[in-house]
Amino acid sequence: MNALITYLKNVRQEFTHIVWPSRHTAIAHTLVVVIIAMIITVLVGVLDYVFGGVVSRIVGG
């Protein structure tokens, strides 16, 4: 039990070393991630459509 308490004290101490981003930075980075995810989604959708059409023509459907 002492090991757990020591561990939790160390975790609490390490949390004081974290440099949290500002609200503006967090929002900006979140928007970048969402935009990149949407671009990748569209790209995968287009590739799926194209390759689906190619396979459909090869199979003869």
> Is 16 inside a domain boundary?
no
> Is 54 inside a domain boundary?
yes
> Is 41 inside a domain boundary?
yes
> Is 51 inside a domain boundary?
yes
* Cα–Cα distance measured from residue 20 to residue 39, given in angstroms and rounded to the nearest whole number: 28
* Cα–Cα distance measured from residue 39 to residue 46, given in angstroms and rounded to the nearest whole number: 11
* Cα–Cα distance measured from residue 25 to residue 1, given in angstroms and rounded to the nearest whole number: 40
For residues 21 and 29, the answer to whether their CB atoms sit within 8 Å is yes
Look at residue 1 and tell me whether its pLDDT is greater than 90.
Answer: no
For residues 17 and 25, the answer to whether their CB atoms sit within 8 Å is no
The structural domain count of the chain equals 1
pLDDT per residue as tens digits for the range 8-57: 999 999 999 999 999 999 999 999 999 999 999 999 999 999 999 999 99
Look at residue 61 and tell me whether its pLDDT is greater than 90.
Answer: no
Domain that holds residue 56: 22-61
pTM over 0.85: no
> Is 9 inside a domain boundary?
no
